[in-house]
Amino acid sequence: MHLFTDIHSLQGFLTAYKYAGKKIGLVPTMGALHSGHLSLIEKARQECDLVVCSIYVNPTQFNNPNDLVHYPRTVSSDRQLLESVNCDVLFLPDDQVMYPQKTLLKFDFGYLEHVMEGKYRPGHFNGVATVVSKLLHIVKPDQVYFGQKDLQQFAVIRQLVTDLSFGVQLVCCPIIREKDGLAMSSRNVRLTANDRALAPLLYQSLQLAQKWASAMSVEQVKEAVARHLAATAGIQLEYFEIVDSYTLQPVKEVDEHEMVSLCIAAYIGEIRLIDNIFLNNSANYK
């Protein structure tokens, strides 16, 4: 696996592949890799001639400074994991490479960022859009791979790519879960033993909501999920929403939408986790 820490060297290496018409896949990450990330690498490996993974803990997308400080950084083990799945290139820039000067440009994604993550993490998607834009310009990939766990992020990036005509294909890959259903996340390692035992309740709540939705109204399902989680000490529900999978706007009647997603965010102890599932067929989501 080739390692690059600066833009010029990386682009010089990629030039020959581009001229040869090779398909380049990019998997942007913030490190602390797990099987969910590796599934993205493996998907890119199947579809592309060259796979680039970037690891960069982007400070501009953290609205909570404490979260940035404590975000896990495991570069040594990350490199070993990437090599185990035959990743071709690791791009490992630092802040000076990615932000040689303060960025003044601001993104506004309108209705896409006024709900859920955007509502509770103001400025988050501006930071995401900034760093993804930079990575797309630097690597110029043919395809970019993201996980479904960050569904709202995928919707925002899809809008970014469309509005700015990046000419890249986005691929949304299914959530990879632990055996007990907990969605894999780099933040899971920060859970205490007691909190880790509670964390699967988020996915269980989504599964219950999926069943309830066939016999209850949207508001009734939301109330039932809130009551279900309120009965467990140690879990603080931030939001549970039933939304259109593309616009991410709350729905009133699930039958009126082509695809509907159930999305949840909660604090398990001091750690904030998110999860989601599709209410109906997700085979064609992109």
Instruction: Give the chain's domain count.
Output: 2
Give the pLDDT score at 66: 87
63: number of Cβ within 10 Å: 14
pLDDT of residue 280: 81
How confident is the model at residue 198, as a pLDDT? 97
Which residues belong to the annotated binding site for ATP?
30-37, 147-150, 176, 184-187
Instruction: Give yes or no: residues 11 and 59 share one domain.
Output: yes
- For 172-229, the pLDDT digits (tens) are 999 999 999 999 999 999 999 999 999 999 999 999 999 999 999 999 999 999 999 9
What is the per-residue DSSP string for the chain? -EEE-SHHHHHHHHHHHHHTT--EEEEEE-S---HHHHHHHHHHHHH-SEEEEEE---GGG-SSHHHHHHS---HHHHHHHHHHTT--EEE---HHHH-SS--------GGGGSSHHHHHSTTHHHHHHHHHHHHHHHH--SEEEEEGGGHHHHHHHHHHHHHTT---EEEEEPPPB-TTSPBP-GGGGGS-HHHHHHTTHHHHHHHHHHHHTTTS-HHHHHHHHHHHHHTSTTEEEEEEEEEETTT--B-S-GGGSS-EEEEEEEEETTEEEEEEEESS--TT--
- What pLDDT is recorded for position 283? 62
Q: Where a domain ends, among 129, 149, 173?
A: 173
Is residue 61 in some structural domain? yes
**Is the distance from CB of 276 to CB of 263 less than 8 angstroms?**
yes
Q: Binding site residues for (R)-pantoate, as ranges?
A: 61, 153
Known binding-site residues equal 30-37, 61, 147-150, 153, 176, 184-187
Residue-wise pLDDT tens for the chain (286 aa)? 999 999 999 999 999 999 999 999 999 999 999 999 999 999 999 999 999 999 999 999 998 888 899 899 999 999 999 999 999 999 999 999 999 999 999 999 999 999 999 999 999 999 999 999 999 999 999 999 999 999 999 999 999 999 999 999 999 999 999 999 999 999 999 999 999 999 999 999 999 999 999 999 999 999 999 999 999 999 999 999 999 999 999 999 999 998 999 999 999 999 999 999 999 866 668 7
% of the chain beyond a pLDDT of 90: 93
pLDDT in tens, 54-80: 999 999 999 888 889 989 999 999 999
Residues annotated as catalytic (active site), given as ranges: 37
In a domain, 178, yes or no: no
pLDDT at res. 57: 97
Q: Residue 265 belongs to what domain range?
A: 186-278
What pLDDT shows up at residue 281? 65
In this structure, are 131 and 39 located in the same domain?
yes
My answer on whether 215 and 89 are in the same domain is: no
Domain match, 97 and 207 both: no
pLDDT of residue 139: 98
- Look at residues 145, 173, 201 and tell me which one is the last residue of a structural domain: 173
Q: What is the CATH number of the domain that holds 140?
A: 3.40.50.620
Q: What is the pLDDT of residue 70?
A: 87
Asked if 134 and 255 sit in the same domain, the reply is: no
Which residue among 111, 139, 173 closes a domain? 173
